[in-house]
Structure 1
């Protein structure tokens, strides 16, 4: 059986299973007097997990609904699959916006009535767009948003007497200086310009490259009609962005060693250890780096506009997903309403401290500057209006993964022709879209 047909069969089976749960018993076993089970994709006992616990406790105090928070990070989606197969999905899942298609096509989600959700009119339209699936219906409540920017070693840049980059050429020059001019002053050739999570796990190579692609006016897909798309990875602007980064890996050699195998967990540590000085990432690690590196040593600046397009970076965030089969739909709705409220958003933001689960608030009544005194957050906030979310295809996950495999190959193999590889990727993505009936 082909991978696509196998996926359809599994999704169909899970949908039938969950429909059975919802029509008979609770999928999670949670009645109205039992704890509302909330899963969040965070490392157990981390600062972020503790913030989620505080959010749940505040909700319980306000609404009288008991809760149980489960923080998981490794193999999060796999463990959800296992729970679905056992008819024991949690009541609530707080997860990436990009997972909406995958979760919806498997029949895991309950539709959200935007008009009847208290506080829904206070949320930004861009955030609501990220809670909308390919069928045009809303399958989540927006919870957190983020755009991307570059966190850099300010002390290194100032020591070398260089300006904040305004173009890709400026950025490449700064990366080269960080690599070759001993910015940490230890007399060793042990620093790099870029630190990049360029591995293929969870599609990280594609995830990282996307901000450069969007900043250059490129994309992975383009809309061709209502619910239909076409691959555009052969577009010159997309190719130019991938080639720019291949040059950093292969010609300038300004990327940290081992990057093509690294995920974000490793890359965070590479940056913290002073092994590289330019990290394009989201705001969720800002407080961590302020604490571990020192506030005076780091700065944040926008991703420079590419030579053929921009501005624009990847747009992401988390949604509150109301899972199918719950025995407590009223409690699910109440939690979603609390999470999007000004109080819930402020708790999730966690001020300037490490452990924020709301990066940029989606509620218009929350003033980011009043909650966070670090002005570097504003760089991310200013980038958000031009942020590009994953398109509402039925399932974005295989598209991101296929793209990551291809882009990673172009960075790992310095002899590879980027245009040819992107042409091949376009063919593969076209096939995937056809399989999803989204072509």
Structure 2
């Protein structure tokens, strides 16, 4: 009954609300997926705007030429996307393509499960670029086993370790490849005056109050911790914090803290302060997104001009290459490009829109949406390395399209900055040993309602253990409290959902 109600609500048509209210980029298109007067396909797109203002038509006209379409954008500001999408879904004010980046939103999930959007799984392999979407990506982007749109392919695993190479060289230390070696580097950076100022004023790690995007979760990968959940061959579900790897990571972080090898206020440090402190030379190890290296180096200009960084993505706790692992951010799924049946009315129209999305994934269109027009927004050398000519013009005319790319990596054209190029190479390499969340596409009603509140119990207990305010028994008691407060129910719901989709 709930599904029928959701379906009826989502299909109620009142088609002017968002498409008129959000504003659009003019392309002279008829807002349907039919053909325009010049033979181009006319496609409307309800999209998310992640910049202050929509792009001009400069790049849009070239995208239209490359894809043989007339595109009518209706932009929803990122800050209000949840409210606007909820309203749009309830009123049926949709478009041929709807960008859905909040797949955990209840209104979005209900609309997807109610059959408002086309299941595109049977069609992807008819198009070369769509066919290249991996089965892991398709599975992660599915809802109850059905793929209700083309996955927005983000970087699957972008994290690693960034170390001051100039400090390593000064102290005669090699680039660390194991967690033990990394501990020794942290000790040396704390105790051996790597900046040479004669004062004991540096630490090894500079971390922040974030167990996910800070150091903890990346380090936990090196100790074999699963990504959020693990599922055994019998379909039994276990949370990551009940794994041996999680406990080893807590011990590792506790050792860093007890010995002063990490900033002692890490549990209350904001990301901006973490980066500023690193740039000011207060520490030599940063764990986070590998592309943060460029920002750290920029922040250090005029303060630590001798700073040299090395990025590492192959650390293990065992020293064995086969044990390389890194947790994945949302399994690389940034959302869906979904096609409502109310707008895309039959298979012929669906295939026309899918061809358009396939064409968006070409090197030519990726270049337009990422860098803009050659000699207008960027220059390029013989190695296909790009340099932006005018940052302000690029931000106005090109950057708004960046969030609309169905695929963000794997192209030959690249940034000319050596540090950014190396970061992208390592991030792409990460994909081959990324640890995915096996339950990412599944649903637990209890987790949707109570998950954040329950997770706070584990987060607090983890910090208390690292800071020496509780012991292992105290942490394990917190886990039992989590189970009693709703964790057992979450596990049971996920196990049922996993069995329903995968038959285990």
TM over 0.5, shorter chain: yes
* Contact 1:145/1:358 (<8 A) preserved: no
2:113 aligned with 1:106: no
Q: 1:231 aligns with which of 239, 245, 257?
A: 239
CA–CA separation in structure 1 for the residues paired with 2:461 and 2:298: 35
CA–CA separation in structure 1 for the residues paired with 2:217 and 2:58: 33
Question: Could you tell me which residue of structure 1 aligns to residue 437 of structure 2?
Answer: 390
* Contact 1:123/1:363 (<8 A) preserved: no
Question: Could you tell me which residue of structure 2 aligns to residue 38 of structure 1?
Answer: 47
The change in CA–CA distance for 1:325 and 1:142 in structure 2 (over 3 A counts) is closer
Q: Give the alignment's TM-score, normalised by structure 2.
A: 0.65
Question: Could you tell me which residue of structure 1 aligns to residue 374 of structure 2?
Answer: none
2:361 aligned with 1:314: no
Q: Deviation at 1:387?
A: 0.4
Equivalent pairs, count: 414
2:105 aligned with 1:92: no
CA–CA separation in structure 2 for the residues paired with 1:270 and 1:55: 39
Residues 247-267 of structure 1 show CA distances to partners (whole Å, capped at 9, x for unaligned) of 32x312333354324554554
Which moved further from structure 2: 384-393 or 256-265?
256-265
2:470 aligned with 1:416: yes
Q: Deviation at 1:332?
A: 6.4
The change in CA–CA distance for 1:23 and 1:101 in structure 2 (over 3 A counts) is closer
Of the two structures, which has the highest relative contact order with CA contacts closer than 8 Å and spacing of 6 or more? 1
Q: Deviation at 1:328?
A: 4.8
Which moved further from structure 2: 369-378 or 151-160?
369-378
Residues 280-315 of structure 1 show CA distances to partners (whole Å, capped at 9, x for unaligned) of 222443443344346962110125112498311012
CA–CA separation in structure 1 for the residues paired with 2:127 and 2:12: 23
The change in CA–CA distance for 1:386 and 1:288 in structure 2 (over 3 A counts) is same
Which moved further from structure 2: 162-171 or 59-68?
59-68
Q: Secondary structure at the match of 1:105?
A: helix
**What does 1:151-300 align with in structure 2 at a 5 Å threshold?**
151-186=162-197, 189-199=200-210, 204-205=211-212, 209-219=216-226, 220-224=228-232, 229-248=237-256, 250-262=257-269, 264=271, 266-293=273-300, 297-300=308-311
CA–CA separation in structure 2 for the residues paired with 1:103 and 1:208: 33
Q: Deviation at 1:385?
A: 0.5
The change in CA–CA distance for 1:342 and 1:394 in structure 2 (over 3 A counts) is same
Q: Secondary structure at the match of 2:220?
A: helix
Q: Secondary structure at the match of 2:241?
A: coil
Residues 116-150 of structure 1 show CA distances to partners (whole Å, capped at 9, x for unaligned) of 55621233444434323452545442422232211
The change in CA–CA distance for 1:298 and 1:308 in structure 2 (over 3 A counts) is closer
CA–CA separation in structure 1 for the residues paired with 2:237 and 2:175: 37
Question: Could you tell me which residue of structure 2 aligns to residue 381 of structure 1?
Answer: 428
* Contact 1:198/1:262 (<8 A) preserved: yes
* Root mean square deviation, CA, Å: 4.5
* Contact 1:25/1:327 (<8 A) preserved: no
CA–CA separation in structure 1 for the residues paired with 2:181 and 2:135: 34
CA–CA separation in structure 1 for the residues paired with 2:80 and 2:201: 33
* Contact 1:36/1:332 (<8 A) preserved: no
* Contact 1:151/1:280 (<8 A) preserved: yes
The change in CA–CA distance for 1:328 and 1:195 in structure 2 (over 3 A counts) is farther
Q: Deviation at 1:65?
A: 0.3
Q: Give the alignment's TM-score, normalised by structure 1.
A: 0.73
2:362 aligned with 1:341: yes
CA–CA separation in structure 1 for the residues paired with 2:435 and 2:286: 19
CA–CA separation in structure 2 for the residues paired with 1:258 and 1:57: 51
The change in CA–CA distance for 1:169 and 1:383 in structure 2 (over 3 A counts) is same
Structure possessing the higher radius of gyration over alpha carbons: 2
Q: Deviation at 1:181?
A: 3.7
* Contact 1:205/1:407 (<8 A) preserved: no
The change in CA–CA distance for 1:75 and 1:115 in structure 2 (over 3 A counts) is same
* Contact 1:22/1:325 (<8 A) preserved: no
* Contact 2:166/2:309 (<8 A) preserved: yes
